[in-house]
């Protein structure tokens, strides 16, 4: 039996939070504000739900200013979930963002924006700031970065490899040097130490290619080194589609790109 007393009349219509004035002319303007936050169709239901909730919280911050800050913190649920799945490792969000950057999955600039959101969440948890510390305009930029990062992280490893040269730009020599710098910072996937795929010992292949790339950067490979490098590329091609970890696949995709860039410098120019 429902013991609640009947409502005295219709509920009052919500009114704009005075702190949100100046962001848009009216509530309809909030639809435009969040219009470019498009849900990735290939995400899991959990991720899509978290991102959609974050987007709607920004929309309704027109009526309750604090919803903007909550939108940013809620979007991090989706980001952390995708990072754990892609990297196949469960670590604090700060570490996950660093690993994704080292693996070339997200740019340094995007990582910095994501870390701003993480710091906001941590400060909120520790009581250093309140839920009113961020308005709709600031929230939209931070949540947009999360949407962008999730879309990038959902790309297959082969697509990351295929777009590496386009995304980096510059001459092949410069690109090889940059990829080498990224590779040196990246951690080898722990769960693949001692793993053999189709007769290829992954950690030894990593060491061989890294050594050859370094020799190429420091003066160039001799004929013997070039022959070994091409053999390594054949092994990388063999294992590429058989790695079942997204982080490991990305790690070896970058290694393969470096090997191909180093080898391409020794292919005779057509005459």
As a whole number, mean pLDDT of residues 254-260 equals 87
**Is the model's pLDDT at 70 over the cut of 90?**
yes
**Is the model's pLDDT at 1 over the cut of 60?**
no
So what's the pLDDT on residue 108? 81
Tell me which residue of 38, 33, 108, 117 sits closest to 73, measured CA to CA. 117
Among 44-48, 73-77, 122-126, 182-186, the least confident range: 182-186
Among 9-13, 62-66, 102-106, top mean pLDDT goes to: 62-66
Output the furthest CA–CA distance in the chain (Å, rounded): 91
For the segment 101-159, what is each residue's pLDDT rounded down to a tens digit?
A: 877 788 888 888 999 999 999 989 999 889 998 889 989 999 999 999 999 898 765 55
Q: Considering the chain, what percentage of its residues have pLDDT values greater than 90?
A: 41
So what's the pLDDT on residue 211? 94
SS (H, E, C) 136-188: HHHHHHHHHHHHHHHHHHCCCHHHHHHCHHHHHCCCHHHHHHHHHHHHHHCCC
**Is the model's pLDDT at 169 over the cut of 80?**
no
As a whole number, mean pLDDT of residues 234-245 equals 85
So what's the pLDDT on residue 271? 41
Structure tokens at 58: 């920004």
Give this prediction's pTM. Answer: 0.61
As a whole number, mean pLDDT of residues 58-72 equals 95
So what's the pLDDT on residue 172? 66
Structure tokens at 145: 């970065």
**Is the model's pLDDT at 30 over the cut of 70?**
yes
Structure tokens at 186: 């990246």
**Cβ-contact 249, 236 below 8 angstroms:** no
Tell me which residue of 217, 267, 268, 262 sits closest to 236, measured CA to CA. 262
Q: Is 63 helix (H, G, I), strand (E, B) or coil?
A: coil
So what's the pLDDT on residue 90? 85
Is residue 253 very low, low, confident or very high in pLDDT (cuts 50, 70, 90)? confident
**Is the model's pLDDT at 52 over the cut of 60?**
yes
Phi and psi torsions of 201, nearest 5°: -80, 110
So what's the pLDDT on residue 157? 55
**Is the model's pLDDT at 2 over the cut of 80?**
no
C-alpha dihedral (98, 83, 92, 164), degrees to nearest 10: -10
Phi and psi torsions of 197, nearest 5°: -125, 120
Is residue 167 very low, low, confident or very high in pLDDT (cuts 50, 70, 90)? very low
The total number of residues written for the chain in this structure: 271
So what's the pLDDT on residue 133? 87
- What is the average pLDDT value for the chain, to the nearest integer? 85
So what's the pLDDT on residue 165? 47
Query: In the 8-state DSSP scheme, what is residue 13?
Result: P
Nearest-angstrom CA–CA distance, 56 and 123: 23
Is residue 160 very low, low, confident or very high in pLDDT (cuts 50, 70, 90)? low
For the segment 177-198, what is each residue's pLDDT rounded down to a tens digit?
A: 888 888 887 888 888 888 899 8
**Cβ-contact 189, 99 below 8 angstroms:** no
**Cβ-contact 80, 54 below 8 angstroms:** no
179: left (phi over 0), alpha (psi -120 to 50) or beta: alpha
**Is the model's pLDDT at 239 over the cut of 80?**
yes
């Amino acid at each position: 039996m429902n013991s609640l007393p009947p409502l005295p009349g219709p509920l009052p219509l919500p009114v704009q939070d005075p702190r949100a004035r100046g962001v848009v002319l009216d509530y309809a303007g909030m639809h435009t504000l969040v219009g470019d936050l498009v849900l990735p169709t290939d995400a899991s239901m959990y991720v899509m739900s978290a991102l959609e909730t974050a987007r709607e919280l920004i929309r309704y911050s027109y009526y309750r200013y604090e919803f903007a800050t909550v939108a940013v913190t809620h979007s991090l649920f989706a980001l952390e979930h995708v990072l754990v799945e892609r990297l196949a490792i469960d670590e604090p969000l700060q570490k996950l963002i660093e690993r994704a950057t080292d693996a070339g999955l997200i740019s340094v600039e995007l990582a910095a924006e994501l870390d701003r959101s993480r710091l906001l969440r941590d400060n909120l948890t520790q009581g250093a700031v309140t839920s009113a510390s961020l308005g709709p305009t600031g929230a939209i930029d931070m949540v947009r970065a999360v949407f962008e990062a999730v879309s990038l992280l959902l790309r297959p490893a082969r697509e990351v490899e295929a777009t590496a040269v386009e995304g980096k730009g510059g001459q092949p020599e410069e690109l090889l040097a940059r990829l080498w710098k990224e590779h040196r910072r990246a951690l080898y996937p722990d769960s693949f130490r001692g793993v053999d795929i189709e007769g290829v010992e992954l950690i030894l292949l990593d060491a061989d290619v890294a050594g050859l790339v370094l020799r190429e950067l420091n003066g160039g490979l001799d004929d013997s080194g070039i022959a070994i490098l091409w053999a390594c590329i054949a092994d990388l091609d063999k294992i590429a589609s058989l790695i079942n970890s997204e982080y490991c696949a990305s790690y070896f995709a970058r290694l393969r790109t470096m090997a191909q860039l180093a080898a391409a410098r020794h292919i005779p120019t057509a005459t």
